[in-house]
Amino acid sequence: MAGTKHGDGSDGGTGRCGAKPVAQRLLATATRLFAEQGYDRTSVQEIVDAAGVTKGALYHYFGSKDDLLHEVYGRVLRLQQERLDHFAEADAPVERRLRDAAADVVVTTIENLDDTKIFFRSMHHLGPEKDKQVRAERRRYHERFRALIEEGQRGGVFTDAVPADLIVDYHFGSVHHLGTWYREDGPLSPRQVADHLADLLMRALRP
């Protein structure tokens, strides 16, 4: 995982090749290369050469190449978890909180589409511990989202005819497929896609 330490001593943590801190520059470079040529076809040497740092600098911040892959997705998931927690804890009716959360995960996924595409295409390359960690982080997110649905079901706001787990899978199945069809130059903006998918979810939950 990326740290907040200084660099490896050769660039004082900010680097001679740009203003970005070393860890941030390494992550941005790895993301670009993974997207362009695939995780398995990108070597550590290519990453450090493109980032303008040494292997020692990379291993100072990331223990391995799969640490970089884990962080590519981890930073998106942390953002989404933070925003979901914010929506879930808001002082608003449960239907508003759920719709806001459902739309937000679509927008944040589209805004970080390269990261999510890279991860879902390459997550099978993660080692057992990293894979277990990612699955636990995703499960925590899905459980918090499901809790909003269950809250509405208990209050009679949402139908309980469909299991909450199935509704969660329905929405996130749509989210996870965004990378296969969404295009920046397409007819729909991220917000429009988010509104459509959130409205579909809410209609499926009507009593």
Half-sphere exposure of 122 (CA within 13 A, CB side): 27
By the 10 Å C-beta count (0-12 exposed, 13-18 middle, 19+ buried), 187 is classed as exposed
109-150 tens-digit pLDDT = 999 888 888 877 888 888 888 888 888 998 999 999 999 999
Residue 116's pLDDT is 81
Spatial contact of 64 and 27, defined as CB atoms under 8 Å apart: no
Residue 20's pLDDT is 66
Q: What is the pTM of this model?
A: 0.81
Report the chain's mean pLDDT, rounded to a whole number. Answer: 87
Residue 162's pLDDT is 92
Residue 128's pLDDT is 87
Residue 53 has pLDDT above 60, yes or no: yes
Residue 158's pLDDT is 97
Residues 6+ apart with CB under 8 A from 189: none
Kindly state the DSSP code that residue 125 receives in the 8-state scheme: G
141-163 tens-digit pLDDT = 999 999 999 999 999 999 999 99
The secondary structure of 111-154 as a DSSP string is HTHHHHHHHHHHGGGS-HHHHHHHHHHHHHHHHHHHHHHHHHHH
55-86 tens-digit pLDDT = 999 999 998 898 998 888 888 889 999 999 99
Residue 175 has pLDDT above 80, yes or no: yes
1-48 tens-digit pLDDT = 333 333 333 343 433 444 468 999 999 999 889 888 888 999 999 999
Spatial contact of 76 and 70, defined as CB atoms under 8 Å apart: no
